[in-house]
Amino acid sequence: MIKQRASGILLHVTSLPSKYGIGDLGPEAYKFAVFLADAGQRYWQVLPLGPTRAKNGYSPYDCLSAFAGNTLLISPELLYEQGLLTKKDVQDSPPSAASGVDYRTAISHKTKLLNMAYERFRSKPESSDFEKFCADNRSWLDDFAMFFALHHHFHPKLWCDWPTELRDKKRRAITPLKSQLKDGIKRQRALQYLFFKQWHSLKDYCNRLDIRIIGDIPIYVAYDSADVWANPEIFKLTKTKKPKFVGGVPPDHFSRTGQLWGNPVYDWQILKKRGYSWWINRAKHNLSLFDMVRIDHFRGLVAFWQVPGRARTAKNGRWVKVPEDFFDKLFEHCPPSSFIAEDLGFITPDVNEAIARLRLASTKVLQFAFEGDSAGNTHCPHNHGRNCVVYTGTHDNNTARGWFRKEATSQQKKRLFEYLGRKVPSALIHQAFIQLAMSSVAKIAIIPMQDVLGLAEQARMNRPATAVGNWSWRLYPGQITASTTKKLARMAETYGRA
């Protein structure tokens, strides 16, 4: 149950300004935290922080690990302050022609900087802080470091195509390679240490400003990940370790064939026998990084759509229930008030019943509020409950202006204007949406930064079901003005969210 009325901004770390081609955990992140405080905002929502890859367009929902951090987010400026880079190192950054995230330049240049930082790091005596980090995170760090080193060694093969004994993680095959890949393994441990050191410093700074960070747990993990390689028994795999079943959603009015995601589904009976330890550890790990966590595709933790692994569409799947005691066991270790249920999409009564029983915060999106009859539309502001989080749009939606210009039907526009009691020009539609969100009884209102700035569809973060052109929008220096800050602060004060 959310206790305090407040508001915040959705902005992923990669979207911060930076001369390195991608936003990171450095000075601009701290400036953004100050902006939030000055604007009367109490929440900063980010997307998953895991290590991304080119294969799926650098999606933060398709990571090499559910526990590791994305080392591209490490700040060179902070490494300089730690004595791991020189002034010349951080000044020599190649120019980027891209207005958004330039992954190619960022990967090329930052890899060089991280390699230099690692060489200086390993030349020094190991600190007790580093040793403690390795010990505290051994449950995932050792497997991730080994998987990453093997992944690089056998590139571009998937782990299921490695030599059988390595695929099956046999100790007699792994042990000899530990010596051969020793430096690569230690490099990953060191970079993860540096990532989490920078992240926790930023989080502590935000908390001192009375800003809480909302993170994100994707329900599924990527097949080609350290998680599946190290824990194959908790997933439904074949004897050759390929997905026997994959996740997705069934056909609906958006897609006649459904959505086929390709992630391996969990073997919940094995998880149950093990006391759900992997999921509990994952949740506890995330709650050490964030103050609250949004559970992506929450409905899949009540019942999930299971599709045969070789299927080409999601049509021929079936619903499989998750054991009812999962949340009871999870909440013995983690407080329910720390979670937000992303209950969008095909929601059945059992999902609503679970959210109500567990007293979890639910999700409302204003772009969905003007579809059909307002009396039964839970996204309409007059139907919001207090224990929910209202968004003008999520990372998967168009911007408010883009939605109005490119997606909203004439009927939706008519309902919106009737709801507002006036017509609004498309250039100001984002302001109307922000006002609706802020005035809602929902305890938390979250506004994507693109809507705060009134940006059009070019600033969209993600287009679901498309593999290219996503996750690249970025702020440019000076784009947040004093006027923007004052307007937000005034609105937060007016609607009791400051």
Which residues carry out catalysis?
296, 342, 396
- 3-state SS class at 80: helix
Cβ burial 90-123 (10 Å sphere, 16+ → b, else e): beebeebeeebbbbebbbebbeebbebbbeebee
What span, in angstroms and rounded, lies between the C-alpha atoms of 12 and 44? Answer: 9
Amino acid identity at 80: Y
Residues 6+ apart with CB under 8 A from 475: 11, 15, 16, 17, 23, 449
The answer to whether the CB of 433 falls within 8 A of the CB of 403 is no
Q: Write the DSSP string, 261-289.
A: EEEEPB-HHHHHHTTTHHHHHHHHHHHHH
What span, in angstroms and rounded, lies between the C-alpha atoms of 498 and 490? Answer: 9
How many helices (H) and strands (E) in the chain? 19, 12
Q: Residue 264, preceding bond cis, omega within 30 degrees?
A: no
DSSP class of residue 198 equals H
Place of tokens 């935000």: 206
The angle subtended at Cα 199 by Cα 124 and Cα 266, nearest 5°, is: 110
Span between the terminal Cα atoms of the chain, in Å: 19
| CA 48 to each of CA 66, 186, 215, 433: distance values in angstroms, whole numbers, following the listed order | 9, 24, 7, 26
Amino acid identity at 340: I
